[in-house]
Amino acid sequence: TKPLLFAELLGSLEASAPPSLVRALETEPLFGIHGIRGNQPFLLFAVTSYDHAFDGMLLWEREMLEDIGPLFGVNQRALQNAPATTTAEALARRLAFRDVVVRNRDLRAVFDATGRIIFLYSFLDKQSLLITTNDETLKAMLPKVSRGALR
């Protein structure tokens, strides 16, 4: 058995991540499940070039949910196409990344109509990128990454 490389994963998902982002991340991410409020998947990457990774993630935001959301159990189309009774309600269902701060960490998150985080990514430090579905998983990963337990 050999590990699935990030580029291979993106290819199998037909994802459109910017090539500069793929080059800025180590080839073998850690894919895991955090057992809180059900099983919450996460991808943890070692970052080789923070500047390129940061820019690449911002560029990928437009397609990220469509590309890898299903891997995390996030169905963008179902969330956006739910019935709405008003224009305001329909507009509130637009999924877009917003800046959030959790435990003094900047992250970019997507919220559902109830205001709950359904998808996020954060650079835990300049060498680590986490993609997951909720802030509890982020909080659990922070001390482990800072101790070097997951690298």
Enumerate residues 6+ apart whose C-beta is below 8 A from 72: 41, 119, 131, 132, 133
Residue 105 sits at φ, ψ, to 5 deg, of: -115, 135
**Each residue of 66-79: b (16+ CB within 10 Å) or e?**
bbbbeebebebeeb
Q: What percentage of the chain carries pLDDT values higher than 90?
A: 41
3-state secondary structure of 13: coil
What is the model's pLDDT at position 88?
65
Q: Looking at the predicted structure, is the pLDDT value of residue 58 above 60? A: yes
What is the model's pLDDT at position 19?
94
Indicate the pLDDT class of residue 120, thresholds 50, 70 and 90.
very high
Q: Looking at the predicted structure, is the pLDDT value of residue 131 above 90? A: yes
Tokens representing 20 are 């500069």
Rg (CA), the chain: 15
User: 137 near 121, Cβ under 8 Å?
Assistant: no
